[in-house]
Amino acid sequence: MSGPEREFEKQVEANRPFTRNAVYFGWLFEAGLVGVAFGLGWLLNESPLTTMKWDLAGLGLGIAATGPMLLGLVVLTWLPIPALRRMTHLFDEIGRPFFTPYTILDLGVLSLLTGFGEEMLFRGVIQGAVAHKFGIWVALAGASVLFGLMHALTPTYVLLATLAGLYLGGVWVVTENLLVVVVAHALYDFLALVYLLRVKTSG
């Protein structure tokens, strides 16, 4: 077992008494976004599942679309830029204690719920509804900014989340299949959390 893995296991043991509360909260919040997507979609007459195509092509494209985001994450966590270093330290101080109780299976469930909830809401409903009224580019920009603001941990993180929203929104526009961005988002979140929790530290 490597050094980071040993440290991770120690943190798990240290947080064992209150482990499941964080897990259940994360699941509940992301699952709630699925409900929000359906509710908002009903109000705007924009079903979040209109462009969901359950096919192998969408699954494969979603997996492929994960690559650029993962590469970007690895590069950003190693660049000696103060704002990026502060973000990594913030994750170690706040994110790591929150996610330490999660098992790999827990992270997988959370990531899957996040992929469905956030993509159904931001791409399937918000971007779709705005596109019908103001066009693709206004919708892409607007949904991406809202996506970034939802992740308002630091100004740098808002910017990076907005760029991620632009990327995912662009992939959705090109593929016209919500499954692609759901898979990309969920798989990225899962692999990013595993990477940040078990491999990369601010030290």
Map the chain to HEC letters.
CCHHHHHHHHHHHHCHHHHHHHHHHHHHHHHHHHHHHHHHHHHHCCCCCCCCCCCHHHHHHHHHHHHHHHHHHHHHHHCCCHHHHHHHHHHHHHHHHHHCCCCHHHHHHHHHHHHHHHHHHHHHHHHHHHHHHHCHHHHHHHHHHHHHHHCCCCHHHHHHHHHHHHHHHHHHHHHCCHHHHHHHHHHHHHHHHHHHHHCCCCC
Average pLDDT, rounded, for the chain? 88
How confident is the model over 83-134, as pLDDT tens digits? 888 888 888 888 888 887 788 999 999 999 999 999 999 999 999 999 999 9
Instruction: Check the CA dihedral 57-73-98-123 and report its sign.
Output: negative
pLDDT at 15 over 90: no
**What count of Cα atoms within 13 Å lies in the side-chain half-sphere of residue 108?**
3
What pLDDT score was predicted for residue 81?
86
What pLDDT score was predicted for residue 8?
45
Residue with token string 């509804």? 129
Prediction pTM value: 0.87
Q: At what angle do helices 104-119 and 19-44 cross, to 10 degrees?
A: 20
What pLDDT score was predicted for residue 42?
97
- Rg (Cα) of the chain, in Å, rounded? 17
Lowest-pLDDT choice from 40-44, 73-77, 139-143, 197-201: 197-201
Cβ atoms of 70 and 188 closer than 8 Å? yes
pLDDT at 80 over 90: no
What pLDDT score was predicted for residue 78?
86
The one-letter code for the residue type at 3 is G
Tokens of 157: 């993180």
What pLDDT score was predicted for residue 17?
44
> Under the phi-then-psi rule, with left for phi > 0, alpha for psi from -120 to 50, and beta for the rest, what region is 47?
beta
| CA distance between the termini of the chain | 19
